[in-house]
Structure 1
Amino acid sequence: MIITPPSAEEVTGHAASMYDSDTQDDGFVFAHTQVMAINPEAHEAFERLIKAVVPSIGIEVYEAATLGAARAIGSSHCLLAHGRKSLRAGVLDDAGLRAFANRDDSGFSAAEQAVIRYAEQLSTSASAMTDADAQALRDVGFSDRQIVDITLAAAARNLFSRALLALDVPVDVVPGLDPATAAALTTR
Protein backbone atom coordinates (compact mmCIF):
# COMPACT_ATOMS: atom_id res chain seq x y z
CA MET A 1 0.00 0.00 0.00
CA ILE A 2 1.43 3.33 -1.04
CA ILE A 3 -0.66 5.36 1.44
CA THR A 4 1.00 6.11 4.77
CA PRO A 5 -1.64 6.39 7.49
CA PRO A 6 -1.18 8.56 10.56
CA SER A 7 0.20 6.98 13.70
CA ALA A 8 -1.85 6.75 16.87
CA GLU A 9 0.24 9.59 18.29
CA GLU A 10 -0.59 11.88 15.35
CA VAL A 11 -4.38 11.56 15.25
CA THR A 12 -6.76 13.98 16.94
CA GLY A 13 -10.50 14.61 16.97
CA HIS A 14 -12.62 12.20 14.93
CA ALA A 15 -9.53 10.28 13.72
CA ALA A 16 -8.50 9.66 17.34
CA SER A 17 -12.04 8.44 18.07
CA MET A 18 -11.80 6.06 15.11
CA TYR A 19 -8.53 4.61 16.43
CA ASP A 20 -9.85 4.42 20.00
CA SER A 21 -13.00 2.60 18.90
CA ASP A 22 -11.03 -0.08 17.05
CA THR A 23 -8.56 -0.48 19.90
CA GLN A 24 -11.29 -0.77 22.52
CA ASP A 25 -13.33 -3.23 20.43
CA ASP A 26 -10.56 -5.37 18.94
CA GLY A 27 -7.21 -4.47 20.53
CA PHE A 28 -5.73 -2.94 17.36
CA VAL A 29 -6.52 -0.39 14.65
CA PHE A 30 -7.74 -1.89 11.38
CA ALA A 31 -5.84 -0.94 8.21
CA HIS A 32 -9.03 0.47 6.67
CA THR A 33 -9.55 2.69 9.72
CA GLN A 34 -5.99 3.98 9.45
CA VAL A 35 -6.44 4.89 5.78
CA MET A 36 -9.80 6.59 6.37
CA ALA A 37 -8.23 8.55 9.25
CA ILE A 38 -6.26 10.48 6.64
CA ASN A 39 -9.52 12.33 5.87
CA PRO A 40 -11.53 12.09 9.09
CA GLU A 41 -14.05 14.66 7.86
CA ALA A 42 -15.01 12.38 4.97
CA HIS A 43 -15.27 9.40 7.32
CA GLU A 44 -17.45 11.39 9.68
CA ALA A 45 -19.70 12.43 6.76
CA PHE A 46 -19.97 8.78 5.71
CA GLU A 47 -21.02 7.82 9.24
CA ARG A 48 -23.65 10.60 9.26
CA LEU A 49 -25.05 9.27 5.98
CA ILE A 50 -25.35 5.76 7.42
CA LYS A 51 -27.01 7.11 10.58
CA ALA A 52 -29.50 8.96 8.36
CA VAL A 53 -30.60 5.85 6.41
CA VAL A 54 -30.71 3.13 9.07
CA PRO A 55 -33.73 4.42 11.04
CA SER A 56 -36.17 3.95 8.16
CA ILE A 57 -34.91 0.52 7.05
CA GLY A 58 -33.57 -1.06 10.24
CA ILE A 59 -30.31 -2.84 10.84
CA GLU A 60 -31.38 -6.09 9.15
CA VAL A 61 -32.19 -4.41 5.84
CA TYR A 62 -29.14 -2.14 6.10
CA GLU A 63 -26.87 -5.17 6.55
CA ALA A 64 -28.58 -6.98 3.66
CA ALA A 65 -27.92 -3.98 1.38
CA THR A 66 -24.38 -3.65 2.65
CA LEU A 67 -23.53 -7.34 2.33
CA GLY A 68 -25.18 -7.57 -1.09
CA ALA A 69 -23.15 -4.63 -2.39
CA ALA A 70 -19.91 -5.87 -0.79
CA ARG A 71 -20.35 -9.35 -2.28
CA ALA A 72 -21.02 -7.92 -5.75
CA ILE A 73 -17.96 -5.67 -5.51
CA GLY A 74 -15.74 -8.39 -4.05
CA SER A 75 -14.82 -6.41 -0.95
CA SER A 76 -13.32 -8.70 1.69
CA HIS A 77 -12.97 -5.72 4.04
CA CYS A 78 -16.69 -5.04 4.08
CA LEU A 79 -17.81 -8.66 3.87
CA LEU A 80 -15.75 -9.49 6.95
CA ALA A 81 -16.65 -6.37 8.94
CA HIS A 82 -20.36 -6.50 8.12
CA GLY A 83 -20.46 -10.26 8.37
CA ARG A 84 -19.34 -9.87 11.96
CA LYS A 85 -21.80 -7.01 12.54
CA SER A 86 -24.59 -9.20 11.14
CA LEU A 87 -23.64 -12.01 13.51
CA ARG A 88 -23.50 -9.68 16.51
CA ALA A 89 -26.86 -8.10 15.63
CA GLY A 90 -28.48 -11.49 15.16
CA VAL A 91 -29.19 -10.85 11.49
CA LEU A 92 -27.52 -14.17 10.53
CA ASP A 93 -25.80 -17.06 12.26
CA ASP A 94 -22.47 -18.58 11.13
CA ALA A 95 -24.18 -21.10 8.84
CA GLY A 96 -26.28 -18.37 7.22
CA LEU A 97 -23.24 -16.15 6.76
CA ARG A 98 -21.19 -18.96 5.19
CA ALA A 99 -24.13 -19.76 2.92
CA PHE A 100 -24.37 -16.08 1.94
CA ALA A 101 -20.67 -16.10 1.02
CA ASN A 102 -21.49 -19.00 -1.33
CA ARG A 103 -24.39 -17.08 -2.93
CA ASP A 104 -27.13 -18.79 -0.90
CA ASP A 105 -29.24 -16.00 0.60
CA SER A 106 -31.77 -18.28 2.32
CA GLY A 107 -30.71 -17.05 5.77
CA PHE A 108 -32.37 -13.74 4.93
CA SER A 109 -36.11 -13.00 4.72
CA ALA A 110 -37.73 -12.69 1.29
CA ALA A 111 -37.69 -8.88 1.61
CA GLU A 112 -34.01 -8.88 2.58
CA GLN A 113 -33.24 -11.17 -0.37
CA ALA A 114 -34.88 -8.59 -2.65
CA VAL A 115 -32.63 -5.94 -1.08
CA ILE A 116 -29.54 -8.09 -1.70
CA ARG A 117 -30.47 -8.52 -5.38
CA TYR A 118 -31.12 -4.77 -5.68
CA ALA A 119 -27.77 -3.91 -4.03
CA GLU A 120 -25.96 -6.35 -6.31
CA GLN A 121 -27.59 -4.82 -9.41
CA LEU A 122 -26.69 -1.31 -8.22
CA SER A 123 -23.11 -2.47 -7.59
CA THR A 124 -22.57 -4.21 -10.91
CA SER A 125 -24.67 -2.35 -13.49
CA ALA A 126 -26.46 0.65 -12.03
CA SER A 127 -26.88 2.22 -15.47
CA ALA A 128 -29.06 -0.72 -16.52
CA MET A 129 -31.46 -0.31 -13.61
CA THR A 130 -35.05 0.67 -14.30
CA ASP A 131 -38.24 1.30 -12.36
CA ALA A 132 -38.70 -2.48 -12.34
CA ASP A 133 -35.77 -2.79 -9.92
CA ALA A 134 -37.35 -0.36 -7.45
CA GLN A 135 -40.73 -1.99 -8.05
CA ALA A 136 -39.29 -5.30 -6.83
CA LEU A 137 -38.58 -3.57 -3.50
CA ARG A 138 -42.04 -2.00 -3.43
CA ASP A 139 -43.57 -5.44 -4.13
CA VAL A 140 -42.08 -6.80 -0.89
CA GLY A 141 -43.42 -3.85 1.11
CA PHE A 142 -40.83 -1.08 1.06
CA SER A 143 -41.98 2.56 0.99
CA ASP A 144 -40.50 5.31 -1.19
CA ARG A 145 -38.35 6.52 1.72
CA GLN A 146 -37.11 3.00 2.37
CA ILE A 147 -36.31 2.42 -1.32
CA VAL A 148 -34.27 5.64 -1.36
CA ASP A 149 -32.50 4.66 1.87
CA ILE A 150 -31.76 1.13 0.61
CA THR A 151 -30.29 2.73 -2.51
CA LEU A 152 -28.19 5.10 -0.42
CA ALA A 153 -26.98 2.25 1.82
CA ALA A 154 -25.85 0.18 -1.18
CA ALA A 155 -24.31 3.21 -2.90
CA ALA A 156 -22.48 4.17 0.29
CA ARG A 157 -21.05 0.65 0.52
CA ASN A 158 -19.85 1.05 -3.06
CA LEU A 159 -18.07 4.27 -2.12
CA PHE A 160 -16.35 2.81 0.92
CA SER A 161 -15.54 -0.63 -0.53
CA ARG A 162 -14.26 0.68 -3.84
CA ALA A 163 -12.06 3.25 -2.10
CA LEU A 164 -10.44 0.51 0.01
CA LEU A 165 -9.93 -1.68 -3.05
CA ALA A 166 -8.51 1.19 -5.14
CA LEU A 167 -6.05 2.10 -2.38
CA ASP A 168 -5.02 -1.57 -1.99
CA VAL A 169 -5.70 -1.47 1.74
CA PRO A 170 -4.63 -4.74 3.39
CA VAL A 171 -7.40 -6.96 4.71
CA ASP A 172 -7.05 -7.60 8.44
CA VAL A 173 -8.13 -10.69 10.30
CA VAL A 174 -11.45 -9.81 11.91
CA PRO A 175 -11.65 -11.14 15.47
CA GLY A 176 -14.80 -12.95 16.46
CA LEU A 177 -15.44 -14.70 13.16
CA ASP A 178 -15.27 -18.45 12.79
CA PRO A 179 -12.21 -19.19 10.60
CA ALA A 180 -14.32 -21.09 8.06
CA THR A 181 -16.76 -18.19 7.85
CA ALA A 182 -13.92 -15.68 7.48
CA ALA A 183 -12.34 -17.78 4.73
CA ALA A 184 -15.67 -17.95 2.87
CA LEU A 185 -16.04 -14.17 3.05
CA THR A 186 -12.50 -13.40 1.89
CA THR A 187 -12.46 -12.68 -1.84
CA ARG A 188 -8.79 -12.03 -2.44
Structure 2
Amino acid sequence: MTYLSTPDRSPLYDAALAAQGYVPNYLRVFAPRPEVYEAWLRLGETVRSGMDLRRYELVTLAAARRLGSAYCGLAHAAVLLDRFYGEAELRAIVADHGDAGLAPVDVAVMDFAGRVAADPAGVAEEDVAALRGHGVADDEILQIVLAVCLRRFFSGVLSATGAAPDPVFDTLPGDIRAAVGAGEGAAHGT
Protein backbone atom coordinates (compact mmCIF):
# COMPACT_ATOMS: atom_id res chain seq x y z
CA MET A 1 0.00 0.00 0.00
CA THR A 2 2.58 2.57 1.18
CA TYR A 3 5.89 2.65 3.02
CA LEU A 4 4.28 4.73 5.76
CA SER A 5 2.09 3.68 8.63
CA THR A 6 -1.31 5.19 8.00
CA PRO A 7 -4.27 5.65 10.32
CA ASP A 8 -7.13 3.17 10.28
CA ARG A 9 -9.65 6.02 10.26
CA SER A 10 -9.68 9.42 8.61
CA PRO A 11 -12.33 11.89 7.41
CA LEU A 12 -10.81 11.35 3.97
CA TYR A 13 -11.73 7.66 4.10
CA ASP A 14 -15.43 8.21 4.78
CA ALA A 15 -15.88 10.40 1.70
CA ALA A 16 -13.96 7.94 -0.52
CA LEU A 17 -15.94 4.95 0.72
CA ALA A 18 -19.19 6.78 0.00
CA ALA A 19 -18.11 7.92 -3.46
CA GLN A 20 -15.94 5.04 -4.67
CA GLY A 21 -16.63 2.11 -2.38
CA TYR A 22 -12.97 1.79 -1.33
CA VAL A 23 -10.15 3.88 0.13
CA PRO A 24 -7.49 4.66 -2.50
CA ASN A 25 -3.91 4.24 -1.38
CA TYR A 26 -3.13 7.88 -2.17
CA LEU A 27 -5.68 8.92 0.48
CA ARG A 28 -3.96 6.70 3.02
CA VAL A 29 -0.77 8.67 2.39
CA PHE A 30 -2.53 12.00 3.01
CA ALA A 31 -4.70 10.77 5.92
CA PRO A 32 -2.40 12.22 8.61
CA ARG A 33 -2.55 15.61 6.84
CA PRO A 34 -6.04 15.91 5.32
CA GLU A 35 -5.68 19.69 5.09
CA VAL A 36 -2.79 19.24 2.63
CA TYR A 37 -4.89 16.92 0.49
CA GLU A 38 -7.83 19.36 0.58
CA ALA A 39 -5.55 22.24 -0.46
CA TRP A 40 -4.14 20.13 -3.31
CA LEU A 41 -7.70 19.32 -4.43
CA ARG A 42 -8.64 23.00 -4.49
CA LEU A 43 -5.52 23.89 -6.45
CA GLY A 44 -6.20 21.03 -8.87
CA GLU A 45 -9.78 22.16 -9.43
CA THR A 46 -8.56 25.68 -10.13
CA VAL A 47 -5.95 24.46 -12.62
CA ARG A 48 -8.39 22.12 -14.39
CA SER A 49 -11.07 24.80 -14.62
CA GLY A 50 -8.90 26.68 -17.11
CA MET A 51 -8.35 23.69 -19.42
CA ASP A 52 -10.22 21.40 -21.72
CA LEU A 53 -10.55 18.15 -19.73
CA ARG A 54 -9.28 15.93 -22.55
CA ARG A 55 -6.18 18.08 -22.92
CA TYR A 56 -5.68 18.07 -19.15
CA GLU A 57 -5.81 14.27 -19.11
CA LEU A 58 -3.34 13.97 -22.02
CA VAL A 59 -0.98 16.42 -20.31
CA THR A 60 -1.28 14.58 -17.02
CA LEU A 61 -0.69 11.19 -18.64
CA ALA A 62 2.43 12.50 -20.40
CA ALA A 63 3.73 14.04 -17.18
CA ALA A 64 2.99 10.99 -15.04
CA ARG A 65 4.74 8.71 -17.52
CA ARG A 66 7.81 10.95 -17.71
CA LEU A 67 7.91 11.09 -13.92
CA GLY A 68 7.68 7.30 -13.70
CA SER A 69 4.43 7.41 -11.73
CA ALA A 70 2.49 4.28 -12.60
CA TYR A 71 -0.20 5.22 -10.07
CA CYS A 72 -0.95 8.59 -11.69
CA GLY A 73 -0.42 7.24 -15.19
CA LEU A 74 -2.92 4.44 -14.61
CA ALA A 75 -5.45 6.78 -13.04
CA HIS A 76 -5.36 9.20 -15.95
CA ALA A 77 -5.25 6.46 -18.58
CA ALA A 78 -8.45 5.15 -16.98
CA VAL A 79 -10.08 8.58 -17.35
CA LEU A 80 -8.98 8.84 -20.97
CA LEU A 81 -10.38 5.37 -21.68
CA ASP A 82 -13.62 6.07 -19.85
CA ARG A 83 -14.33 9.51 -21.34
CA PHE A 84 -12.38 10.15 -24.51
CA TYR A 85 -10.80 7.19 -26.30
CA GLY A 86 -11.44 3.57 -27.14
CA GLU A 87 -9.00 0.83 -26.17
CA ALA A 88 -7.22 0.82 -29.55
CA GLU A 89 -6.77 4.59 -29.48
CA LEU A 90 -5.44 4.58 -25.93
CA ARG A 91 -3.10 1.69 -26.74
CA ALA A 92 -1.66 3.77 -29.57
CA ILE A 93 -1.32 6.84 -27.34
CA VAL A 94 0.57 4.99 -24.60
CA ALA A 95 2.71 3.12 -27.13
CA ASP A 96 3.76 6.30 -28.98
CA HIS A 97 1.60 9.39 -28.73
CA GLY A 98 3.50 10.91 -31.67
CA ASP A 99 2.30 8.10 -33.94
CA ALA A 100 -1.17 7.58 -32.45
CA GLY A 101 -3.20 9.65 -34.89
CA LEU A 102 -3.57 12.54 -32.46
CA ALA A 103 -3.84 16.05 -33.83
CA PRO A 104 -0.39 17.67 -34.20
CA VAL A 105 -1.29 20.15 -31.46
CA ASP A 106 -2.02 17.28 -29.03
CA VAL A 107 1.32 15.66 -29.86
CA ALA A 108 3.11 18.96 -29.29
CA VAL A 109 1.28 19.53 -26.00
CA MET A 110 2.18 16.03 -24.75
CA ASP A 111 5.79 16.49 -25.84
CA PHE A 112 5.94 19.82 -23.98
CA ALA A 113 4.30 18.28 -20.89
CA GLY A 114 6.93 15.54 -20.86
CA ARG A 115 9.71 18.10 -21.16
CA VAL A 116 8.33 20.21 -18.30
CA ALA A 117 7.90 17.10 -16.15
CA ALA A 118 11.45 15.92 -16.80
CA ASP A 119 13.25 19.24 -16.38
CA PRO A 120 11.26 22.42 -15.78
CA ALA A 121 14.45 24.50 -15.68
CA GLY A 122 15.42 23.11 -19.08
CA VAL A 123 12.36 24.49 -20.84
CA ALA A 124 13.45 27.16 -23.31
CA GLU A 125 11.81 29.83 -25.44
CA GLU A 126 11.92 27.53 -28.46
CA ASP A 127 9.81 24.95 -26.56
CA VAL A 128 7.16 27.59 -25.95
CA ALA A 129 7.48 28.86 -29.53
CA ALA A 130 6.81 25.35 -30.82
CA LEU A 131 3.47 25.33 -29.00
CA ARG A 132 2.65 28.81 -30.26
CA GLY A 133 3.33 27.47 -33.76
CA HIS A 134 0.46 25.05 -33.20
CA GLY A 135 -1.85 27.87 -32.18
CA VAL A 136 -1.53 27.35 -28.43
CA ALA A 137 -1.91 30.70 -26.69
CA ASP A 138 0.32 31.78 -23.81
CA ASP A 139 -2.47 31.41 -21.24
CA GLU A 140 -2.97 27.81 -22.45
CA ILE A 141 0.76 27.18 -22.18
CA LEU A 142 0.68 28.42 -18.60
CA GLN A 143 -2.22 26.03 -17.91
CA ILE A 144 -0.13 23.13 -19.23
CA VAL A 145 2.81 24.15 -17.02
CA LEU A 146 0.50 24.44 -14.00
CA ALA A 147 -1.03 21.01 -14.67
CA VAL A 148 2.39 19.38 -15.05
CA CYS A 149 3.81 21.01 -11.92
CA LEU A 150 0.70 19.97 -10.00
CA ARG A 151 1.36 16.41 -11.18
CA ARG A 152 5.03 16.68 -10.18
CA PHE A 153 3.93 17.38 -6.61
CA PHE A 154 1.32 14.63 -6.34
CA SER A 155 3.34 11.99 -8.19
CA GLY A 156 6.39 12.88 -6.11
CA VAL A 157 4.51 12.39 -2.86
CA LEU A 158 3.09 9.05 -4.00
CA SER A 159 6.44 7.81 -5.29
CA ALA A 160 8.40 8.90 -2.22
CA THR A 161 5.92 7.17 0.09
CA GLY A 162 5.62 3.99 -2.00
CA ALA A 163 1.89 4.32 -2.63
CA ALA A 164 0.93 1.36 -4.79
CA PRO A 165 -1.66 1.71 -7.56
CA ASP A 166 -5.08 0.52 -6.43
CA PRO A 167 -6.47 -2.84 -7.60
CA VAL A 168 -9.28 -0.97 -9.40
CA PHE A 169 -6.75 -0.28 -12.18
CA ASP A 170 -6.49 -4.02 -12.81
CA THR A 171 -9.59 -3.57 -14.97
CA LEU A 172 -7.53 -1.69 -17.55
CA PRO A 173 -6.34 -3.91 -20.40
CA GLY A 174 -3.06 -5.59 -19.47
CA ASP A 175 -1.04 -4.10 -22.31
CA ILE A 176 -2.16 -0.59 -21.40
CA ARG A 177 -1.32 -1.23 -17.72
CA ALA A 178 2.10 -2.53 -18.72
CA ALA A 179 2.80 0.38 -21.07
CA VAL A 180 1.72 3.01 -18.53
CA GLY A 181 3.46 1.26 -15.64
CA ALA A 182 6.65 1.05 -17.67
CA GLY A 183 6.39 4.61 -18.99
CA GLU A 184 9.32 6.89 -19.59
CA GLY A 185 11.37 7.17 -16.46
CA ALA A 186 9.33 4.54 -14.60
CA ALA A 187 10.79 3.99 -11.19
CA HIS A 188 9.38 1.47 -8.75
CA GLY A 189 5.80 1.31 -9.98
CA THR A 190 4.22 4.25 -8.20
TM-score with structure 2 length normalisation?
0.85
Match of 2:120 in 1: 126
Instruction: Give how far 1:17 is off.
Output: 5.2
Match of 1:95 in 2: 88
User: CA, structure 1 residues 141+55, in 2 after alignment: closer, same or farther (shift >3 Å)?
Assistant: farther
User: CA, structure 1 residues 132+167, in 2 after alignment: closer, same or farther (shift >3 Å)?
Assistant: same
Counterparts of 1:94-173 in structure 2, within 5 Å, are 94-105=87-98, 106-173=100-167
Greater relative contact order, per chain length (Cα 8 Å cut-off, separation 6+)? 2
Structure 1 counterpart of 2:10, one-letter code: V
SS in 1 for 2:117: helix
SS in 2 for 1:57: coil
Instruction: Give how far 1:119 is off.
Output: 1.0
Instruction: Give how far 1:11 is off.
Output: 1.2
Match of 1:178 in 2: 173
TM-score with structure 1 length normalisation?
0.85
Q: Give the root-mean-square deviation of aligned CA atoms.
A: 1.9
Alignment pair present for 1:60 and 2:59: no
Cα offsets for 1:106-153 (capped at 9, x unmatched): 253222211111111111122211111122222222222211111000
* Structure 2 unaligned blocks of 5 or more: 183-188
SS in 2 for 1:102: helix
Counterparts of 1:3-22 in structure 2, within 5 Å, are 3-7=4-8, 10-12=9-11, 15-16=12-13, 18-20=15-17
| Matched length | 180
For residues 176 and 96 of structure 1, what CA distance do their matches in structure 2 show? Answer: 17
CA contact (8 A) 2:13 2:27 kept: no
CA contact (8 A) 1:84 1:176 kept: no
